Amino acid sequence: MSPNQIHNEQELLLRIAEGDEKAFRVLFDQYWEPLYAATLTLVKAKEPARDLLQEVFLKIWNLRTQLPEKENVRNFIYIVARNHIYNELRKKSHEEAFTESIIRHFAEKSDSALEQLIHKEARQVLNEAVSQLPEQQRLVYQLAREQGLSQQEIASRLQISLSTVKTHMSRALTAIRDYILQQAHVAILLQILVGELF
């Protein structure tokens, strides 16, 4: 079925709503390239971008009965895509490995002027997050991250148990992550999230 065989968008949407896979293929072909370009810009890797878009079109297929009711199908499709990608990134942001990577990213230096500017802002947000930690958590975090001490060395220096050090560090990392996610510029977070996800 080619687009010429379908007289208008409403007819196409009605066919899709009735489960016509060939009509859905027309919609798929119409929106795949622009959505792929937008997703690739975010993800910066072809295969993950394709995988995400496959999931987006599966969602659209599952929502196909709603399509004829939409006044602006293009907007609907882009909103489904945006929400799906953000949800995937949000899920990733709650994983412990991501917490470590986001803090590491905020602490690293960069070479280009733009990256230096972004990292200056990121470093400031990280410093603010650390400054708001309870005293013992902040001390444990600083000894580990700024002085490079092991958890055992921190326990000996502070004369506390190893498990207490681990608890302080875990809570500190969670608090820092939450603060960063609330304060940091969206572009910075997306850069990190996308890099870590793929």
Query: Cβ distance 136 to 161 under 8 Å?
Result: no
Whether residue 109 is contained in a domain is answered as no
Whether residue 127 is contained in a domain is answered as yes
Query: Which pTM does this prediction carry?
Result: 0.49
Containing structural domain, residue 173: 114-197
pLDDT in tens, 88-145: 766 766 666 666 666 666 666 655 555 566 567 777 878 888 999 999 999 999 999 8
Whether residue 3 is contained in a domain is answered as no
Return the structure tokens found at 26.
């027309």
Last residue of a domain, one of 104, 127, 143: 104
Same domain for 51 and 29: yes
Same domain for 74 and 122: no
Same domain for 148 and 77: no
Looking up residue 78, the CATH number of its domain turns out to be 1.10.1740.10
Query: Cβ distance 175 to 102 under 8 Å?
Result: no
Give the integer Cα–Cα distance in Å for 145 and 107. Answer: 9
Same domain for 133 and 96: no
Give the integer Cα–Cα distance in Å for 173 and 52. Answer: 29
pLDDT for 3 beyond 50: no
